[in-house]
Amino acid sequence: MSSGPAHGHPVILSDLSVEYPAHGASGAHVALRGIELRIAPGEVLGLLGSAGSGKSTLAKVLSGVFLDPRSEEVRPVVTGGEARVLGHPMKRMPRRKLAEHRFHVGYLAQDAGSKLTADRTVAELVGEPILERDRHFDRRRLASRVADLIDGVRLPLSTLERFPYELSGGQRQRVAIARALVLGPQLLIADEPTAGIDLTVRDTVAQLLGELRDGHRFSAVIISHDLPVLRKIADRVAVLDRGSLVALGTLEDVLDDPHHPYVKALAGALDDGHAIIDEVDTGPRA
């Protein structure tokens, strides 16, 4: 569906710094520090980092979620530099342009499958982003689009009339992926798309994301601790630690020549046979 203008690099981060403002008893917190990064058209970038490294914050900035006044969470603020997504500066994006931005950028939030609205069918959930944009959208075209996506994520068409509570965790996650792709985005931001689902389904989801990328020709940022998933679908990986970009390159290049303590710990964990990296010990923190 998406037919926005062509752009050079879908994502350009220039000295990007992001901070969470003080709230309640919590002081201000710097989440990202001077990030420089470009993502090429059609590229899948894997994003690695420990808890609190800034991964999800970056996802919120790229997706535009940080601009949404309806969010109940404390929203991050761009305090330095710029993030340009599909040619548009995020820092100065008017809120009225946010809907258009979301038309071109698909966002799969962390645990998206478990957060699907319980009283709506799969068909309603997947089609909702289209109807939010155009409530008069032709229902026959909508049904065809939704059915194609459900088939594309390898779920039977009988799933369309089911409710989330009738599905397994892996099935719900695939419904969430279909929902994130229904508008035909030019860029997909996926925050831990394979977390919390069993090994065989993780492999299916990884393969699915790769196939969808090839078919839809979009770029993607995939946040994941699952190294086999990133090895399968990521062209490059970026590693964040305490808000800074500490490594960038192919997964093999990054792990074969680690310079930063966190990257060394990642490589060591992989050598020890750990495919999924939740937390690694990088020594005392300042």
For the chain, what is the HEC assignment? CCCCCCCCCCEEEEEEEEEECCECCECCEEEEEEEEEEECCCCEEEEEECCCCCHHHHHHHHHCHHHCCCCCCCCCEEEEEEEEECCEECCCCCHHHHHHHHHHEEEECCCHHHHCCCCCCHHHHHHHHHHHHCCCCCHHHHHHHHHHHHHHCCCCHHHHHCCHHHCCHHHHHHHHHHHHHCCCCCEEEEECCCCCCCHHHHHHHHHHHHHHHHHHCCEEEEECCEHHHHHHHCCEEEEEECCEEEEEECHHHHHHCCCCHHHHHHHHHHHCCCCECCCCCCCCCC
Per the domain annotation, does 46 fall within a domain?
yes
The pLDDT of residue 80 is 95
The pLDDT of residue 169 is 87
The pLDDT of residue 282 is 45
Per the domain annotation, does 62 fall within a domain?
yes
Per the domain annotation, does 126 fall within a domain?
no
Per the domain annotation, does 90 fall within a domain?
yes
The pLDDT of residue 1 is 53
Per the domain annotation, does 236 fall within a domain?
yes
The pLDDT of residue 111 is 86
The pLDDT of residue 15 is 97
**Residue 45 is part of which domain span?**
11-114+186-271
Please list the pLDDT of the chain residue by residue as tens digits (286 residues).
544 444 578 999 999 999 998 877 777 889 999 999 999 998 999 999 888 899 999 999 999 988 877 766 788 999 999 999 999 999 888 877 887 888 899 999 888 999 999 999 999 999 999 998 888 999 999 999 999 999 988 899 999 999 999 999 889 988 998 999 898 889 999 998 887 677 777 777 777 777 777 776 789 999 988 888 888 889 999 999 999 999 999 999 998 888 888 888 887 776 555 555 554 544 444 3
If one counts the domains in the chain, the total is 1
Per the domain annotation, does 284 fall within a domain?
no
Q: Give strand pairing partners of 89.
A: 84
Per the domain annotation, does 31 fall within a domain?
yes
Per the domain annotation, does 203 fall within a domain?
yes
163 within 8 A of 147, measured Cβ to Cβ: no
pTM: 0.85
Residue 98 is part of a domain; what is its CATH number?
A: 3.40.50.300
d(C-alpha 201, C-alpha 207), whole Å:
10
The pLDDT of residue 72 is 61
